């Protein structure tokens, strides 16, 4: 590519990224996972943007802005923005090193928040991370990460996932409906098929960890994942309420029957920190995290507080910019406590 001071729509994505490495942050900001896919990266910028159902002008404006002012889009050192290892970009599942299912016994305990926080933490530690939003009828990942792009489709029908601003790859049913308010009214077998297709038909590329955000409970979707996806381990999410504790124990029984180890427990909504006094207010009763971890036979990774700042950033699609001592420690505790407990992947995938 000749020297130029302007990036134009007809330029090839791969050549632009190779010549101007800072531009990968722009493509990630706009959710273009095609930048890490060797097939789709051969698209022109215009074609790639259109395939992700985005407006061309804002992407071009940011690409040319970063040529003039590299600091306009600050560099973020994360695993997801590292250049892919050559030859891994078009892998579907064979370059995924570890698969973790995040599960709860009931809804409303913040399982998706825990999934997101763990993904962000691992990404900050330099690992390549993907999220499969398997809560087909109640997906939340696109809003949490503020991704407006839609997955593109390669010529062979494979799915190119959306990329977050800091390089986490995401696939979710919400990307395939008209809007957030659109209801997905499907029976169990269809939901199970979609989950398997999301896993098998997506260009995940090279991932250190694929996190699967399961729907609440122990229904068909959870069983489908355990039976058809080679999950290395489970993280169990609960809250301090005794009712939630009793229901979560059903999820423990499911893990036992599926012979998948529980490698960590997270208690969410453990307390509210009062800003004036610094005291902890236990809105849902005293912490049950240690008791739940003992029952599950796995380590307690975190007791996460209720934080209005986190809720606000989720609503604004900016959770990647959120920091707290508790969420920042979650990924570190996972690496120390959970990783040694992960089982080897031995299950053959069909369908």
Does 171 fall in a domain? yes
- Predicted confidence at residue 340, as pLDDT, reads 93
Under 8 Å between Cβ of 211 and 131: yes
DSSP character string of 64-94:
HHHHH-GGGS-----GGGSPPPTT-TT-SST
- Predicted confidence at residue 349, as pLDDT, reads 36
Does 167 fall in a domain? yes
Give all strands of the β-sheet with 96-103 in edge-to-edge order: 162-163, 169-172, 129-133, 207-213, 96-103, 233-238, 262-267, 300-303
Give yes or no: residues 37 and 183 share one domain: no
Alpha helices by DSSP H, listed for the chain, are: 13-19, 23-29, 45-51, 56-68, 111-124, 141-145, 188-200, 220-228, 242-257, 289-296, 308-315, 325-333
Give yes or no: residues 25 and 158 share one domain: no
CATH number at residue 180: 3.40.50.300
Contacts 24+ apart (CB under 8 A), 272-276: 272/305, 272/306, 273/305, 273/307
Give yes or no: residues 274 and 164 share one domain: yes
**Structure tokens, 61:** 């404006």
Q: How far is CA 179 from CA 29, 143, 148, 182, 315, in A?
A: 21, 11, 11, 5, 16
Give yes or no: residues 119 and 192 share one domain: yes
- For the chain, what is the domain count? 2
Does 298 fall in a domain? yes
Give yes or no: residues 37 and 110 share one domain: no
Give yes or no: residues 69 and 104 share one domain: no
| Helical packing angle, 242-257 and 289-296, nearest 10° | 20
| Helical packing angle, 188-200 and 220-228, nearest 10° | 40
The count of other CB atoms within 10 Å of the CB of residue 62 is: 19
Give yes or no: residues 190 and 334 share one domain: yes
CATH number at residue 37: 1.10.3910
Q: How far is CA 164 from CA 22, 129, 142, 254, 312, in A?
A: 16, 11, 9, 32, 18
Does 201 fall in a domain? yes
Give yes or no: residues 67 and 135 share one domain: no
> Where do we find the tokens 């074609």?
47
Does 231 fall in a domain? yes
Q: Walk along the chain (351 residues) and give the pLDDT tens digit of each residue.
A: 345 589 999 998 888 888 888 888 888 888 876 666 655 557 788 988 888 888 899 999 999 999 999 888 877 778 888 777 766 666 788 899 999 999 887 778 889 999 999 999 999 999 999 999 988 777 889 999 998 888 887 777 788 899 998 999 999 988 887 666 665 666 666 777 888 888 999 999 899 999 999 887 766 667 777 788 899 999 999 888 755 667 777 778 888 888 889 999 999 999 998 888 888 899 988 888 898 888 888 999 999 999 999 999 999 999 999 989 899 899 999 999 999 999 875 443 333
Domain of residue 212, residue span: 96-341
d(CA 301, CA 264): 6
Give yes or no: residues 178 and 60 share one domain: no
Give yes or no: residues 195 and 238 share one domain: yes
Alpha helices by DSSP H, listed for 184-283, are: 188-200, 220-228, 242-257
Give yes or no: residues 263 and 206 share one domain: yes
Does 7 fall in a domain? no
The count of other CB atoms within 10 Å of the CB of residue 179 is: 6
Does 316 fall in a domain? yes
Under 8 Å between Cβ of 212 and 101: yes
- Predicted confidence at residue 218, as pLDDT, reads 66
Number of alpha carbons in the 13 Å side-chain half-sphere of residue 266: 31
Paired strand residues for 99 = 210
Does 347 fall in a domain? no
Give yes or no: residues 230 and 284 share one domain: yes
Number of alpha carbons in the 13 Å side-chain half-sphere of residue 2: 3
Q: How far is CA 167 from CA 199, 258, 337, in A?
A: 18, 32, 25
């Amino acid at each position: 590519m000749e020297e130029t001071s302007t990036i134009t729509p007809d330029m090839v994505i791969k050549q632009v990224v190779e010549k101007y490495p800072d531009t990968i942050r722009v493509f990630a900001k706009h959710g273009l996972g095609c930048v890490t896919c060797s097939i789709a990266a051969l698209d022109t910028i215009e074609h790639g943007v259109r395939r992700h159902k985005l407006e061309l002008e804002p992407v071009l404006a940011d690409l040319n802005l970063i040529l003039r002012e590299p600091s306009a889009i600050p560099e973020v050192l994360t695993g997801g923005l590292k250049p892919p290892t050559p030859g891994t970009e078009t892998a579907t599942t064979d370059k995924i090193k570890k698969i973790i299912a995040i599960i709860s016994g009931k809804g409303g305990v913040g399982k998706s928040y825990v999934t997101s926080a763990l993904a962000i933490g691992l990404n900050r530690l330099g690992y390549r991370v993907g999220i499969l939003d398997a809560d087909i009828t109640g997906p939340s990942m696109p809003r949490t990460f503020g991704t407006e792009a839609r997955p593109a489709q390669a010529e062979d029908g494979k799915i190119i996932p959306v990329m977050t601003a800091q390089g986490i790859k995401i696939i979710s049913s919400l990307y395939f409906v008209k809007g957030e308010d659109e209801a997905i009214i499907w029976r169990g077998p269809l939901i199970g098929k979609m989950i398997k297709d999301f896993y098998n038909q997506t260009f995940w590329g090279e991932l250190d960890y694929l996190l699967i955000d399961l729907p609440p409970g122990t229904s068909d979707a959870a069983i489908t994942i355990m039976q058809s996806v080679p999950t290395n381990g489970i993280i169990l999410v609960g809250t301090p309420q005794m009712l939630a504790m009793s229901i979560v124990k059903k999820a423990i029984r499911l893990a036992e029957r599926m012979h998948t180890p529980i490698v960590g427990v997270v208690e969410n909504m453990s307390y509210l920190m009062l800003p004036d006094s610094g005291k902890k207010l236990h809105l849902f009763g005293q912490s049950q995290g240690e008791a739940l971890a003992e029952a599950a036979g796995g380590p307690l990774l975190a007791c996460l507080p209720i934080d209005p700042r986190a809720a606000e950033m989720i609503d604004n699609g900016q959770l990647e910019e959120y920091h707290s001592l508790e969420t920042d420690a979650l990924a570190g505790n996972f690496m120390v406590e959970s990783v040694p407990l992960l089982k080897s992947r031995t299950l053959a995938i069909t369908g």
